[in-house]
Amino acid sequence: MKKVLVTGAAGFIGSHVAEALVKAGYSVIALDDLSGGCEENVPDGASFVPGSITDYHLVDRLFSEHRFSFVFHLAAYAAEGLSHFIKRFNYENNLIGSVNLINAAVNAGSVECFVFTSSIAVYGRNQVPMTESLVPQPEDPYGIAKYAVEQDLHETLEMFGLNHVIFRPHNVYGERQNIGDPYRNVIGIFMRQILNNQPLTVFGDGLQMRAFSYIDDVAPIIAACIGRPDTWNEVYNIGADQPWTVLELAERVCRAMGQTTPNIHHAEARNEVQIAYSSHDKVKACFGDLIQNIPLDVGINNMATWVKQTPISPGQRFKNIEVAKKMPPEWQRLANKDSAASQT
């Protein structure tokens, strides 16, 4: 039985990937610092190790002890918009932590393939539909960190022969998502606000367009790639094809949660990419038998059923924002509230 390391395995996408790997018969070591996930998400059959990828001593020890055949690196703090204001945290966790894993994989000598979940944030703006042949032009520290890891994996293949697969998912939602996080995952934020009888926060006019990807259209493909060596050393966009505006999304989330009309609060617009959706021709050509194309309403209804039965877990709140200048007022109020609470 081959051993597999899954980082972020107590989180959202990571727990689903770990579950698929356990079902496929792999021995899974699940590493997570529980900053955004919870141990209950780790699937039965996986061995949970609490800890951070920023702890390179722990990472090196795990690789030495287990001689992993495959690595699935999903641990990240994926608050793209907030990354402007938490640069140090972003790069330490999303870039340096990734390098710790790559170093360990090279030194171990046992890793056949390193699977990395990047993001369509690497593309930046004005490049739609986003295709893998485009030259990435990330617009924020989160996208910069993800692209830097991609480049390092390409260099590591050339220098040390470490195979990799890079997936660029986007706007993934579904069961086990942390809906308590106030900075990311708009569907989860909307659902939490509805449960709390709050208006739905929409930044700007709400005409931003995204393609929202249900977890079952993403996790099974990520997990399956290690069994298909002909797909290695490539980059794949992965997720839903159909883009929707944030306002259209709000209507559908409200219906799934039992509300008839969205109560929208239009907050000040953020500095963000307005239209982002990608082409999936490449992943369909290589993983077409696993593509499900689950409709948005079906996925949202599935998630809503789960949310109504699940306690809201707290999201990671940043009490020490590194750069407050130009921070959206909605987030600034959260930071001020945290600051005031820490002084009482």
Secondary structure of residue 132 in the 3-state scheme? coil
pLDDT (0 to 100) of residue 310: 86
How do residues 164-212 score in pLDDT, each as one tens digit? Answer: 999 999 999 999 999 888 888 999 999 999 999 999 999 999 999 999 9
Bigger pLDDT: 185 vs 148: 148
pLDDT band for 336, please (50, 70, 90 cuts). Answer: low
The CA angle 302-304-305, to the nearest 5 degrees, is 65
Mean pLDDT of the residues in the chain: 92
Tokens of 227: 């069994």
Q: Where residue 343 falls among pLDDT bands split at 50, 70, 90?
A: very low
Q: Which of 48-52, 66-70, 288-292 has the lowest mean pLDDT?
A: 288-292
* 157/137 Cα distance (integer angstroms): 22
Q: What is the mean pLDDT of the segment spanning 250-258? A: 96
What is the structure's pLDDT at 344?
Answer: 42
Give the separation between CA 232 and CA 70, rounded to whole angstroms: 12
Weakest-pLDDT range from 50-59, 288-297, 311-320, 326-335 = 311-320
Measured CA to CA, the distance from residue 21 to residue 44 in angstroms comes to: 11
Position 237 pLDDT exceeds 60: yes
pLDDT of residue 342: 45
- As a whole-number percent, the residues of the chain with pLDDT over 90 amount to 79
- Report the Cα–Cα distance between both ends of the chain, in Å, rounded: 53
